[in-house]
Amino acid sequence: MTDQNSAIEEQGKELFVDPLPGQERFVAPLEETPLKEVDYLDESVPPTSMWADAWKVLRKNPLFIISSIVVVFVFIVALFPQLFTKVDPLNCVLDNSLEGARAGHPLGFDLQGCDVYAHVIYGARTSVSIGILTTIIVTLLGGFIGAIAGFFGGWVDAILSRITDIFFAIPFLLGAIVVLQMFRTSSSIWKVVFALAIFGWVSMARIVRGSVLEAKNLEFNTASLALGSSPIRNLFQHIIPNSLAPAIVMATMSLGSYIVSEATLSFLGIGLPSSVVSWGGDISNAQPLLTTNPSVLFWPSLALAITVLAFIMLGDCVKDALDPKSRTA
């Protein structure tokens, strides 16, 4: 048996040294392939997290810098509108109806004699507040439902998924219109937030469910269970933190959509009342002046478009930074 094995080894060596025609192999000399320069790993450098790697990509992205500056500026305007204008947006004088720009009123006046610039500045607070509040509720509600469905699976996943499908089948704006019709007497912004959140959590739940389904089957979850960690503890300490990236991207991009939705509902006259200053309400009030005084419609529309575009660009940049497949060396 030993002699037979030796013969086979000798035959293999002969085939390797003298390959058949067309099977010749070329092996480059070691000095021509400096593997150390290519595969070198500095073990003294501590490992970085996914968020640290994403930040390295984001801070070099000009679109992220521009969109971040715009978003921060919008937040400052929404929080401290008195820093940008001393005019009361509700102080309207009919004698100033459709007057042009003058000292202290750079954008002129609307049909009711209200300062257009003051309305644009103070309208940011209402529109951005509705977008942020809706995004927070949608992220918490949709994230919780999606995490529970993806983690437990089985009949829990089946029931929650069917509930999600029911809400998903209802058109977003149509459902919000129906809900707002039930609260027409209320002047609070919470009615708009509630109407948008009750139909907006569905997409977030689906995103989080898929992310949790992927994370719970990874090695770190199995290792944690083997070390004695309970499933619930695993869910909140390991699985959910590792599933946050898609939810954060979804929330960033959805915030702009909720601002547009509020403006759409206010434009249709079923959102916020006319006593509340918002970009959607200003656009709705300026609609009859489109042909005669388009500037009254232009300024709130421009503020809305820039804000929404900034949030969309910010969401795209974050998505690309958190996706390793989209990174270039």
Residue 303, pLDDT above cutoff 70: yes
Using a pLDDT cut of 90, give the percent of the chain over it: 19
Residue-wise pLDDT tens digits, 198-234:
998 998 999 999 888 888 887 777 787 777 777 788 8
Q: Indicate if 140 and 273 belong to the same structural domain.
A: yes
Please write the tens of the pLDDT for every residue from 1-34: 555 555 545 544 444 455 556 656 666 666 666 5
In a domain, 201, yes or no: yes
- Res 13: pLDDT: 47
Mean pLDDT score of the chain: 81
Higher pLDDT, 31 or 39: 31
**Res 35 pLDDT > 90:** no
Give the C-alpha distances (Å, rounded to integers) separating 95 from 35, 103, 111, 280.
81, 16, 10, 25
Identify the residue with better confidence: 37 or 43.
43
- pLDDT at 253 exceeding the cut of 80: yes
Task: Yes or no: say if 296 and 116 are a contact pair by the CB < 8 Å rule.
Answer: yes
Give the mean model confidence (pLDDT) for residues 101-129. Answer: 88
Are residues 229 and 151 part of one domain? yes
The Cα–Cα gap between 258 and 263 comes to 9
- Domain CATH code at residue 174: 1.10.3720.10
> Residue 105: its pLDDT value, please?
84
pLDDT at site 37: 52
Mean pLDDT value across residues 270-293: 83
- The pLDDT > 70 percentage for the chain reads 82
Same domain, 18 and 140: no
Same domain, 88 and 12: no
Dist CA 82 CA 164 (whole Å) = 43
Residues 174 and 303 in one domain: yes
146, 209 contact by CB (below 8 A): yes
| Same domain, yes or no: 221 and 308 | yes
The pLDDT of residue 299 is above 80: yes
| C-alpha gyration radius of the chain | 30
> Which among 251, 233, 253 has a CA at the least distance from the CA of 241?
233
User: Packing angle between helix 294-322 and helix 62-79, nearest 10 degrees?
Assistant: 130
Query: Torsion angle of alpha carbons 145, 154, 158, 150, nearest 10°?
Result: 30
Handedness of CA 63, 64, 70, 71 (dihedral sign): positive
Residues 33 and 99 occupy one common structural domain? no
pTM score, whole prediction: 0.78
Residue 15: what pLDDT? 45
Residue at 43 is within a domain? no
Q: 19 by DSSP, 3-state: which?
A: coil
Tens of pLDDT, residue by residue over 309-321, are 999 899 888 888 8
- Tell whether 58 and 153 lie within a shared domain: yes
The answer to whether residues 58 and 26 belong to one domain is no
Q: Domain check: are 149 and 289 in the same one?
A: yes
Report whether pLDDT(241) > 70: yes
Report the C-alpha gap between 88 and 83 in whole angstroms.
12
Domain with 280 in it: 51-326
pLDDT of residue 329: 44
Residues 196, 233 within the same domain: yes
Residue 43 has a pLDDT of 65
Q: Which pLDDT does position 4 carry in this prediction?
A: 52
| Phi, psi (degrees; rounded to nearest 5) at 241 | -60, -30
The total number of structural domains in the chain stands at: 2
- Predicted confidence at residue 159, as pLDDT, reads 92
Cβ proximity of 150 and 247 under 8 Å: no
Does 44 reside within a domain? Answer: no
In order of 15, 17, 26, 314, the CA distances from 20 in angstroms are: 8, 10, 14, 59
Does 28 share its domain with 158?
no
